[in-house]
């Protein structure tokens, strides 16, 4: 599951751009800074954590849950890529 800390988001939309599974879209609501923070699309995320790493504002955290069967494998792989 993708958790978005809306107060930290500055609205660069890089997470939406870089997501390989299109699991994030701009939300309808505005946050404190007056930008549209991203929200997760149901059942799209595979837990690759690219959005968490690519977010310059520490606004996104990917947490494990039952819907992510591939999570463990992805995590192991990420340490091995040179």
Partner 1 sequence: MADKNEVDVIDGKQLQDKYLREEMMPHIFCNGCGLGNVLDYVLWAVEKEGLDLDKTVFLSGIGCSSRIPGYINADALHTTHGRALAFATGVKMANPDLNVIVFTGDGDCIGIGGNHFIHALRRNLDITVIAVNNYIYGMTGGQVAPTTPEGHIGTTAPYGNIEPPFDMCEMAKAAGATYVARWPVFRPHQPINSIREGIRNKGLSFIEMMSPCTTAYGRRNRFRKIEDLWAFYEDKTILIEEYDKIDRFGTEEEKEELDDKIKIGVFKRSTRKPLEERYRDLLEEFK
Contact set with partner 1 (CB under 8 A) = 3, 7-8, 10-14, 17-18, 49-50, 52-64, 75, 78-82
Instruction: Tell me how far, at minimum, the Cβ of 73 lies from partner 1, in Å.
Output: 13
Residue number with CB closer to partner 1 (3 or 44)? 3
Instruction: Tell me how far, at minimum, the Cβ of 42 lies from partner 1, in Å.
Output: 21
Instruction: Tell me how far, at minimum, the Cβ of 3 lies from partner 1, in Å.
Output: 8
Distances (CA, A) of 6 to 33, 37, 74: 9, 6, 26
Residue number with CB closer to partner 1 (7 or 26)? 7
Contacts of 40 (CB under 8 A, 6+ apart): 1, 2, 4, 23, 24
- Residue 16, helix vs strand vs coil: helix
């Amino acid at each position: 599951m993708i958790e978005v800390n809306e107060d930290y988001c500055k609205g660069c939309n890089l997470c939406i751009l870089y997501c390989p599974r299109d699991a994030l879209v701009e939300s309808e609501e505005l946050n404190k800074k007056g930008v549209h923070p991203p929200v997760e699309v149901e059942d799209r995320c595979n837990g690759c954590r690219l959005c968490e790493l690519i977010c310059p504002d520490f606004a996104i955290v990917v947490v494990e849950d039952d819907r992510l069967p591939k999570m463990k494998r992805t995590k192991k792989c990420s340490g091995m890529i040179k």
